[in-house]
Amino acid sequence: MKVGIIMGSISDRDVVEKSVKILKKFSVDIELRVISAHRTPFEAAEYAQTAEEKGTEVIIAAAGKAAHLAGVIAGITPLPVIGLPIKSSTMDGLDSLLSIVQMPKGVPVATVAINGAENAGLLAVQILSVKYPELREKFKEYKLEMAEEVKEMDKKVKGI
């Protein structure tokens, strides 16, 4: 099982690392690349055309500002694409979010929150868990761990 994570710029890496951390927690193989829909369009097309044959099963595309990377990739590949809008200096990432979420009919892109890299990784795990039952079990355990963390926080505030 392999997830391709592409980002429009190396400056997106700090956010993307949160997806990487989640995927590693679930023992998912990762390919990490910097590919720009605007500055390296031929490389973007090649990546999208060859990802499936290289064993990639889900793609996370992170980009800011115009953020066309996820849509360009989704327009070419049959693989599921998760758009990760990156907060930009222009509109706090709203421009990125709208660029990713407003896809035309026939070009679906699952989109997470601005800088929502953890959820992008978790959504990739959930998509893969349809094919890999062991991931589904790990995901169930993860949800239980989250619930326990909240219960611990609740215990701390009850005494206040």
For the full predicted model, state whether its pTM sits above 0.85: yes
State how many domains the chain has. 1
| Percent of the chain surpassing pLDDT 70 | 100
User: What range does the domain containing 52 cover?
Assistant: 2-158
CATH number of the domain where residue 99 is located: 3.40.50.1970
List pLDDT tens digits, range 41-94.
999 999 999 999 999 999 999 999 989 999 999 999 999 999 999 998 878 999
What mean pLDDT is reported for the chain?
Answer: 96
**Distance between the two ends of the chain, CA-based, in angstroms?**
46
Which helix (H) or strand (E) is 3 found in, with range?
strand 2-7
- Using N-to-C axis directions, what is the helix angle for 13-25 and 117-129, rounded to 10°? 40
Spatial contact of 108 and 75, defined as CB atoms under 8 Å apart: no
Query: Averaged over 19-45, what is the pLDDT?
Result: 98
